[in-house]
Every structure is written in structure tokens, then in C-alpha cells.
Structure 1
């Protein structure tokens, strides 16, 4: 379990949920991991619950200057997992400019900022792994989340374009696209469904789980295992892929 020994990984949105599960999976493979997110207290608690080889620092991915400074402090990065994200729902007619821009800033431009900071060192070193945590919303459409879908489609497009640029430089760029996953985002979605439809929380959760042919919500560890695999030296031929982690929802 030491395939990533000597590699330094940065995981954004790492204080909880999918990001924390990814950090744990990379640590298990021997990587040194830096957790990044906005909430210092949550980061400190997350790092305290992980094995050695873990550092943390606050990061707002929408702040280009702050991203550059955080990555400079972190040092050379071999593995970058862009997991930071937000989801907000509204019918298109009630999607205002602020909501639209926030979805793009956090889910797409934030990944761009982090890649800009990490990629040059990977190219200079001749090895790197970039994994963007997108969504099945980056592969298909969903009602009432047009801005989120647009941002995640953009993240998949960024993944594919960049993968071609660095294909001969020892760096791979891939995306994982989780379906509805047991995270705070889904908890917020359940609360919104309850508020707007009058259904119970149990009914709302069951409705989201039913989208998955396996009849369940995806678990953060499901996503983390896929990410860890893409980071392995043996995954060198995986490049430019957008892999659905959704029980067969998208094929």
C-alpha cells in the first residue's frame, strides 16, 4: 500500500465528505497530503483524525491570488484533486446573475486557478496527476440546476482539453463524476425538496437514491477509491476521461 510514497497530494474541499475520503485514500497509498478548504476549524479537526503525513491550510478557490499563495506555501505538488464545489438549485427563470456566477466561480474557475498553480511543477518534473471531481451533472442535464450543470460540463471540457495538451509530458488529467452522494450537498438538496414539495425527508432521499440503478446514494469512499486509482503510477494510460461513479445512472 505504498504506490504513492514520495508523492505530495493537494486535495481541495478536503475538510469533509468526498474530499476527506479522498485524502484518507491517498494517505493509505503512502502519499503526503495537504488538505485545503475555507474552514480552518474543520480542516484542523479533519487533519487530526487522519494518519501522519497530513498538513492543512485554508483556501478559497475563487481567490486567484490566495490560491497562488497557498500553493507556494504547500510546495511542489505531484497530485492535485480539485474537489471544492457548491450546488445551488433554482428554476432557470429564477437563476440570477449572482447564482450563475457563483456556480462558475466555485465549480469551474476554482479548478482553473488550482491547476494554474500546480501544473508547471508537474510538467517540469515529468510526472503528475490531476483529478477533477465533477458530477453526473457534467455528463447529462438535470432540472433546476442549469448553472451547476453548466459549470460541471465546463469542468469536464477543461479536463479533456488539458489532457491533450499534457499527454506527452507525464501528466494525466481525468475527472470523476459522482451521482447523488451522501454529502452535505445532498443533505441540502433533501432539505430543499422537503421545503418546496412537502415531501418527507425520507421520501426525498428515496427519490434521489432511485436515480441510481443500484437504488442507493453513492458513498464518499466510492468516489475516493476511483480517484485514488487514477492517481496510481499504473493508471498512466488513463487520460482525458470523465468516469461516472453513479451505479450505472450514466453509461
Structure 2
């Protein structure tokens, strides 16, 4: 495939870092984005050291700040050119019963998991449409397709972002731009480690048992590897006939 300019948000660790590594491995130029400058520069340097050839750039930005979204795109465009592949991965989770979910928690989930991807997609589209080619992949979640207790705000935000993906895919289906979502289950990442900590504390069990309990919730009996999610993202990049989809990477928990 022709080397493309790729932008991956939330790329300092976990799924985002695995996605950036996968794209660089096949020769694409990759801009990694995260809030922490030191963390994103470390991640970019690590990929750069292992993947000879493509340009790997680290950009620090807080994507909940609209001005930072514009600055991020402008910095990538100056260094690499127009963004041809956008992977909107940045996000976070929040657990609380519905009646204990505060307005602030709700707003934070909507802002980070729905509004931020919307801003990134809106900013990336004009250059892709002008070129007649583009790939947008949003990392959502299996809870974009089902309800789950104790995470009402997170679930609502992920349902919303899957709706955004489907609407954008329908609107631009004839343009050469595809828009898809990847919907992971529980992935072996620092974010899941926080979930394991919460389970351990809530149930009064050891961390190892909490981890096993979470793994048992997936039919394959284990956590998903970040590289497995990255492979699904790469599939969306190389296959132009896949559009408007929410691709499950969850070991069979949600069957399409």
C-alpha cells in the first residue's frame, strides 16, 4: 500500500500505541498524539528505533480543548502533510451506578469519548475529500452495542460515537473516504488495569483473581491483546469496501 500520513490519538500506551506501531511497521508515516509530552515523545522514539523508514512524530495535545485539535492537525500537516488516515483512539472510562453518576462525570465521558472524536473527524475530512481518499477509524467499545451496568455514561458515549461513525460513513460513502469503528472488549491495557483495581477493591479480592474474573467475562477466557485490536484497525485501512461498520474484537462476547 502507498505510504500514508496517519494520525493516532491516545497513542502513548495501550491500543493507540499498538496501532501506531502496526501502521509504522507497514511503512506509513505516523503522528502519535497524547496529553503528556514526555510520554508521547518516549512512545514515538521507541517506534522510530524499531521501524526504520517511516517518519514517526510525537505531538502533545489535550483534545478536549478545541484549540488543541486545530494545533495538532496544523503541526502534523506542517511536518508530514495532510492527514490521510485518522485513528481516533483517545478515550477513558468511568464507573458508577447511574444514580451516583454526577453531571461532571457524565459530561467528561461525552466530551472525551464523543465530542473529541467528532472534532477530529470534522477537521480531517476536508483534506480527505479533496484528495478523494481517506480512512477514519474510531476505537469504540463493545458497549457501543450493548448496555452494561455501572458504566452508563461510558456506554452512552460509546453508543454515540458509533452513531457518528455510521452517519459519516453514509454521508461520504461515494467520496473515497471510509469511516469505521473497532469495538474491543476487555483489552490488556493500563485502562483495563484500572478496572481490575476497582473490581479488586469493590469485591475485596486479590488483583489476580479480579483479573481472572474479568477474563472469564469474555468467551475466549482471556483479555484481548492490543495488537489484535491494532490488526482490526489496519484491516479498516487497507480494505476500501468496509465502511460504516463496528468491528467487534471481543472474543465473541457480542455476535454480529
After TM superposition, the score normalised by the length of structure 1 is 0.96
- After superposition, give the CA deviation of every residue in 1:33-59 in whole Å (9 maximum; x if it has no partner): 000110101011101111241001111
Residue 141 of structure 1, CA deviation: 1.2
Using the alignment, how far apart are the partners of 2:2 and 2:152 within structure 1? 38
Distance 1:135 1:147 in 2: 13
Q: What CA distance in whole angstroms lies between the structure 1 residues aligned with 2:202 and 2:9?
A: 31
Structure 2: runs of 5 or more not aligned:
none
Structure 1 stretches of at least 4 aligned residues deviating more than 4 Å after TM superposition: none
The alignment status of 1:14 with 2:32, answered yes or no, reads no
The answer on whether the counterparts of 1:4 and 1:29 sit within 8 Å (CA) in structure 2 is no
Which of 68, 73, 76 is equivalent to 1:74?
76
State whether structure 2 residue 228 is matched by structure 1 residue 226: no
- Are residues 4 and 90 of structure 1, via their aligned partners in 2, closer, same or farther at CA, if it must alter by over 3 Å? farther
- 1:4, 1:82 → 2: CA distance? 21
Indicate the residue corresponding to 1:168 in structure 2: 174
Shift of 1:65: 1.5
Distance 1:114 1:174, change over 3 A: same
SS in 2 for 1:223: helix
Q: Residue 62 of structure 1: SS of its match in structure 2? A: coil
Q: Matches of 1:74 and 1:212 in 2, distance apart?
A: 38
Q: Structure 1 stretches of 5 or more lacking a match?
A: none
Give the root-mean-square deviation of aligned CA atoms.
0.8
Q: How does 1:138-177 map to 2 (within 5 A)?
A: 138-177=144-183
The superposition leaves residues 176-196 of structure 1 with CA deviations (integer Å, 9 ceiling, x where unpaired) of 000000011110001111111
Of residues 62, 65, 73, the one that matches 2:64 is: 62
Q: When the two structures are aligned, how many residues end up with a matched partner?
A: 246
Q: 1:243 aligns with which of 220, 244, 247?
A: 247
Quote the Cα distance in structure 2 between the aligned partners of 1:120 and 1:211: 41
d(CA) in 2 for partners of 1:60, 1:164: 29
CA deviation after TM superposition for structure 1 residue 4, in Å: 4.1
TM-score between the two structures when normalised by the length of structure 2: 0.94
